[in-house]
Amino acid sequence: MSSRKSRPLAAGYSSEVDSTGEQAWCQLVQGFEDGNIYQTWPYGAVVGGPRNLSHLVLKLDSEVVAIAQARIKKLALVNLGIAYVQWGPLWRRKGAETNAENFRQALRALRNEFVCKRGLTLRLFPIVFEHDPLGFRAILADEGFSSIGEAERGRTILMDLTPSLAELREGMSSHWKRELKIAEKNNLEFIEGSSQELFETFIGMYKEMVSRKKFVEPNDIHQFKQIQMQLPEPLKMRVLLCKSGGDLCSGAIYSVAGNSAIYLFGATSNVGMKSRGSYFLQWKVIEALKQRGAAVYNLNGVNPDKNPGTYKFKSDLARKHGRDVFYVGRFDVHGGSISHSLIQLGDALRTGRRKFQQRILEARTTKSRAEGRTDKSANLNATAGKTQTAQVLQAGRRSQA
């Protein structure tokens, strides 16, 4: 839909824009079951800049029923740009009945504000999954949103945390249960907190792992360290570290908002590859989430083709209590062809850059492995040469005798 004609909200609904302060906004985020770190004020301020944020509140008969934080990017000197809503809008209020109309009216209010009023392209990445019985794809289409990037819509595993701890453990794969038992016998030391010191310690191990595995980081972990500094205590990320014999062996970072949690980062050190600390920590995460009353654990990103090891680890953890799901993806609605064309060009450039970075890393990895094989072959040849020389000398001595 390219028309910039606004649509009136349904009877009883009203919206407010940029009338809420940071502290009040963070409190609102915690009041939604689908609350998440990407809709927190500190996340938007660090990633997009504090001056490039906009906050919309939707009310029904004076009661808040949906909210959305948008990051604004505009081209200098021209009124063209994009408003990006990541993992929003939030519309599932705690303790309230699920009402898909709140989702629809939030979409309409966002379009009226950012497309019709400001002339921006509005991009949405909602926490909505394929095969949802409420028909969110149809609602998005009705409100003028078009799907983009079908090939990159994302996939994750959602673990249901409502069963008891005993049931969750029993629901794991036999392999996962066996590895966890071994980890628990290894006398691993467990540390948990939200301090900057723990975050810094984790970053050191995480960078070590990135260097070892040679992959493109999906998120800038240093940005998350800045976000952590600004988040209010109830929304701070939790950092877990595991030590074996006094040495760091693994770590994990997760976030909780609303009634759901998301696994953000995980790492294993070079010395901790055999400690099984990653199994130990994930079980500690589940125990902590049960204590906090979280109902869903989003294991955040799986790809069985590109990263089969991580996929197996996460799917085996959730197993009987997990759902392997695809997000419905990202959606755009724009107010003009020029703006839309510029956004498409920017998307193509970013995609090209990511692919180029990945190819460089893959080439380096291939070269490193080849050099490793060459070194191993050289060592084997040298060893064989020494053995052969020793045999010749020994034969000579025998001949002289």
Task: Summarize pLDDT for 289-331 with one digit per residue, the tens.
Answer: 999 999 999 999 899 998 899 999 999 999 999 999 999 999 9
Please state, in angstroms and rounded to a whole number, the distance separating the CA atoms of residues 2 and 145: 10
**Per 3-state DSSP, what percentage of the chain is helix, strand, and coil (rounded to 5)?**
50, 25, 30
pLDDT at 368 > cutoff 70:
no
Please say if the pLDDT value at position 369 is more than 60.
no
Say if residue 45's pLDDT is above 90: yes
CATH topology of domain 13-148: Aminopeptidase (3.40.630)
For 265-285, the pLDDT digits (tens) are 999 887 777 788 999 999 999
Amino acid at 1: M
**Is 133's pLDDT higher than 90?**
no
Question: Residue 351 has what pLDDT?
Answer: 46
- 131 — pLDDT class (breaks 50, 70, 90): confident
Residues 32 and 91: beta-carbon distance below 8 Å: yes
Q: Is the pLDDT of residue 357 over 60?
A: no
What tens digit of pLDDT does each residue of 192-226 get? 999 999 999 999 999 988 888 776 777 899 999 99
Is there a common fold for 13-148 and 157-325?
Answer: yes
pLDDT of residue 149: 73
CA distance 110 to 41: 17
pTM: 0.84
Instruction: Answer yes or no: are the C-beta atoms of 26 and 40 closer than 8 Å.
Output: yes
Query: Sign of the C-alpha dihedral, residues 61, 62, 63, 68?
Result: positive
More confident residue, 374 or 135: 135
Q: Is the pLDDT of residue 349 over 60?
A: no
Domain boundaries, the chain: 13-148, 157-325
pLDDT for 6 equals 92
Q: Which residue has the tokens 């929304």?
A: 235
Fold of 157-325: Aminopeptidase (3.40.630)
The better pLDDT of the pair 63, 343 is held by 63
390: confidence class by pLDDT, cuts 50, 70, 90: very low
Q: What is the pLDDT of residue 401?
A: 39
